[in-house]
């Protein structure tokens, strides 16, 4: 069963009951007992005072006060020890819920259709939902228990109060109803305001990382932009602080208003009860206990009720975001692991009148795009930035499948392939490839379901020119890369690129795509990397994506992408012979990049 769908529409009560049943049951029982404590305290206190007064007046024996004292001792033990036990149970439950919620969110994010990853509004939703899910669900469960506690304790106290003074109980209820609705309204407004604060926090959080993290240190030193970004950071921080202050002020003002009303209410009710005490309708013990009960109830109805209902309204808005997040469309088999594709033999890849525009836009990136790629050749897609080269890769790999036209792999519609098979057949090295802070070995085998073949790993390390580096590392192939661990070794950008290429080679995919992974290098270094890959991977079908034409010359055939179509196609020599053509014009513009002896070998 898909756990994401099982918990698609959950709430703050049912999920903890399913996720942490023992802890949830204990906390529910504790909440009920704790909610009855005010009524218990009122009865016990009245009994103790009346018993003490009776003993003082000689109407009862001293031994008769033992039971009231025992009842008070039990009350004291409960209020002093049980909260600590409940906190411990709550902590263990929170730890277990953390693991399960994180797993739920990770699985959902992995299953999302790729369009949600590139959509700004969806990313904001994901950030709001995933920022503090454990805190929100823990608060939600506690909020429900708090509300239940208020209802139980208030009802039990109202019964006691109305027994002595019906009018007092009615007045308390009438005064509390407006406070309830004001609190709900405040909670909803606070969550709407907090959305803006969270978005601002996301922005200044990014600036904070640029100002402090090691990754940006060299450019911080070189360009000296720290002061300028610090000003932007401070401005965003002040905006967020202003919003959060407004939220706190609204909450505080509502609570203070409620407290002023309750102080007046207590004075009125006590005045109403005094005649009953003077006439002997109620004893001193009952009067003291009732005043204490009224004070406790009014405080509960004004402060606890207001805070609880305000938080409940806020959490309900979060739950709407949660359910909206889990309602986002998923790609079928998105989380499936690549299946074995050893028997697959590549023959051809064809785009037949393919048109595509990104979701939510009206502009077609590809328009009636057609081409055929055959086995035994290597191909390069070239064109200016934004021409649609990377979009072609996204369609080939199945990241998007809502296009018009057909994409055929070996003559079969690519949509008919199992996604697990497609993952095994095609492997891509993207421009923004990941540098994993794990061991050198794991950095390579992560592209093949962490299956370790020692000979194959040594082979690809040697092929990409990392053998000497690996031998020099303190723990060789087991050395942690990056700076996550204290003994980790960081690599240069070029070395990281070779590690990424080794990962691609080790994946054993039949179709390899290099989508400008060397864009950060200079044109000559890029050409050298492509040449190296071409030599070691000549047995696999390879597609190169680049806007630098010097690197494309190693391919048997070059396809020029322009205005959403293949505008020109042919070998380097054939395209250069088209005077005034797109390729010839672009190459002449870039010629100075490659006019060095070290690149003459490509000509």
Give the Cα separation of 290 and 45 in Å (integer): 10
| pLDDT over 70 (residue 191) | no
Give the Cα separation of 236 and 46 in Å (integer): 57
CA distances from 250 to 175, 246, 581 (A): 20, 6, 66
12-326, what's its fold?
Answer: ABC transporter transmembrane region fold (1.20.1560)
Backbone angles phi, psi at 277, to 5 degrees: -70, -45
Give the Cα separation of 603 and 86 in Å (integer): 76
Tokens in use for 238? 């002040």
In terms of Cα–Cα distance, which of 297, 98, 272, 28 is closest to 179? 297
Residue 303: the pLDDT is 60
Residue 2: the pLDDT is 43
Backbone angles phi, psi at 204, to 5 degrees: -75, -20
Give the Cα separation of 461 and 503 in Å (integer): 9
Residue 5: the pLDDT is 44
Give the Cα separation of 86 and 536 in Å (integer): 63
In terms of Cα–Cα distance, which of 583, 569, 558 is closest to 378? 558
Query: Residue holding tokens 């919620």?
Result: 101
| pLDDT over 70 (residue 486) | no
Q: Measured at the alpha carbon of residue 280, what is the angle toward residues 278 and 283, in degrees to the nearest 5?
A: 105
Banded model confidence at residue 603, pLDDT cuts 50, 70, 90: very low
CB proximity list for 47: less than 8 A, separation 6 or greater? 68, 71, 285
Q: Where are the domains of the chain?
A: 12-326, 348-602
Q: What is the DSSP letter of 576?
A: H
Count of CB atoms within 10 A of residue 28's CB? 17
| pLDDT over 80 (residue 12) | no
Task: Read off the pLDDT of residues 100-158 as tens digits, 9 standing for 90 and up.
Answer: 888 888 888 888 888 888 888 888 888 888 878 888 888 888 888 887 887 777 777 66
Name the pairing type of β-strands 412-413 and 426-430: unpaired
In terms of Cα–Cα distance, which of 291, 300, 261 is closest to 273? 291
Give the Cα separation of 184 and 448 in Å (integer): 52
Q: Measured at the alpha carbon of residue 557, what is the angle toward residues 555 and 562, in degrees to the nearest 5?
A: 110
Residue 407: the pLDDT is 94
| pLDDT over 60 (residue 601) | no
Name the pairing type of β-strands 541-546 and 379-382: parallel
Residue 58: the pLDDT is 79
Give the whole-number percent of the chain exceeding pLDDT 70.
Answer: 74
Tokens in use for 49? 């005072």
Q: Which run of H or E residues covers position 366?
A: strand 366-374
Average pLDDT over residues 267-271: 68
Banded model confidence at residue 231, pLDDT cuts 50, 70, 90: confident
Task: Read off the pLDDT of residues 337-360 as tens digits, 9 standing for 90 and up.
Answer: 777 667 788 899 999 999 999 888
Class of domain 348-602: alpha beta
Average pLDDT over residues 245-256: 65
Banded model confidence at residue 365, pLDDT cuts 50, 70, 90: very high
In terms of Cα–Cα distance, which of 344, 351, 424, 377 is closest to 541? 377
**pTM (2 decimals)?**
0.65
Banded model confidence at residue 57, pLDDT cuts 50, 70, 90: confident
Residue 290 or 406, more confident:
406
| pLDDT over 90 (residue 376) | no
Task: Read off the pLDDT of residues 151-190 as tens digits, 9 standing for 90 and up.
Answer: 777 777 667 666 666 666 676 666 666 666 666 666 666 6
């Amino acid at each position: 069963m898909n756990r994401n769908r099982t918990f698609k529409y959950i709430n703050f009560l049912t999920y903890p009951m399913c996720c942490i049943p023992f802890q949830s049951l204990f906390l529910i029982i504790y909440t009920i007992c704790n909610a009855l404590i005010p009524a218990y305290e009122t009865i016990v206190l009245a009994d103790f005072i009346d018993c003490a007064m009776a003993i003082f007046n000689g109407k009862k024996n001293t031994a008769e006060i033992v039971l009231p004292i025992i009842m008070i001792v039990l009350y004291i033990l409960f209020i002093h020890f049980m909260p600590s036990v409940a906190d411990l149970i709550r902590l263990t439950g929170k730890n277990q819920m953390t693991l399960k919620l994180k797993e739920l969110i990770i699985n959902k994010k992995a299953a999302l259709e790729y369009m949600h990853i590139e959509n700004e509004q969806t990313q904001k939703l994901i950030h709001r939902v995933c920022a503090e899910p454990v805190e929100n669900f823990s608060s939600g469960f506690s909020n429900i228990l708090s509300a239940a506690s208020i209802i139980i304790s208030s009802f039990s106290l109202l019964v006691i109060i109305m027994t002595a003074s019906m009018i007092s109980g009615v007045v308390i209820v009438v005064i509390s109803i407006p406070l309830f609705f004001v609190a709900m309204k405040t909670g909803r407004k606070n969550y709407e305001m907090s959305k803006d604060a969270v978005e601002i926090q996301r922005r200044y959080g990014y600036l904070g990382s640029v100002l402090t993290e090691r990754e940006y240190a060299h450019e911080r030193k070189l360009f000296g932009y720290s002061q300028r970004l610090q000003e932007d950071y401070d401005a965003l921080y002040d905006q967020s602080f202003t919003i959060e202050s407004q939220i706190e002020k609204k909450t505080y003002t509502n609570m203070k208003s409620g407290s002023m009303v309750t102080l007046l209410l207590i004075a009125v009710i006590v005045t109403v009860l005094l005649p009953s005490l003077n006439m002997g309708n109620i004893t001193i013990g009952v009067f003291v206990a009732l005043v204490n009960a009224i004070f406790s109830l009014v405080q509960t109805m004004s402060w606890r009720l207001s805070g609880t209902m305000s938080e409940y309204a806020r959490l309900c808005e979060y739950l709407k975001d949660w359910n909206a997040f889990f309602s986002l469309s998923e790609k079928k088999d998105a989380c499936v692991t690549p299946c074995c594709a050893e028997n697959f033999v590549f023959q051809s890849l064809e785009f037949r009148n393919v048109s595509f525009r990104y979701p939510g836009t009206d502009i077609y990136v590809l328009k009636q795009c057609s081409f055929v790629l055959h086995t035994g050749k290597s191909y390069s897609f070239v064109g200016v930035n934004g021409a649609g080269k990377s979009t072609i890769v996204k369609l080939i790999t199945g990241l998007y499948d809502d296009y018009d036209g057909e994409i055929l792999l070996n003559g079969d519609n690519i949509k008919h392939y199992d996604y697990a098979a497609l993952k095994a057949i095609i492997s891509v090295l993207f421009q923004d490839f990941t540098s994993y802070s794990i061991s050198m070995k794991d950095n390579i085998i992560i592209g093949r379901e962490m299956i370790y073949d020692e000979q194959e790993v040594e082979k690809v390390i040697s092929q990409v020119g990392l053998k000497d580096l690996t031998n020099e590392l303190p723990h060789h192939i087991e050395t942690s890369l990056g700076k996550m661990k204290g003994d980790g070794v960081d690599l240069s950008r070029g070395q990281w690129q070779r590690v990424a290429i080794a990962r691609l080679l080790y994946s054993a995919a039949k179709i390899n795509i290099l989508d400008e992974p060397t864009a950060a290098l200079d044109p000559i270094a890029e050409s050298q990397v492509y040449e190296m890959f071409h030599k070691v991977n000549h047995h696999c079908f390879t597609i190169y994506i680049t806007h630098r034409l010097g690197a494309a010359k190693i391919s048997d055939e070059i396809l020029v992408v322009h205005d959403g179509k293949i505008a020109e196609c042919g070998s380097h020599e054939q395209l250069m012979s088209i005077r005034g053509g797109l390729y010839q014009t672009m190459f002449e513009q870039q010629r100075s990049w490659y006019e060095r002896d070290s690149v003459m070998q490509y000509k």
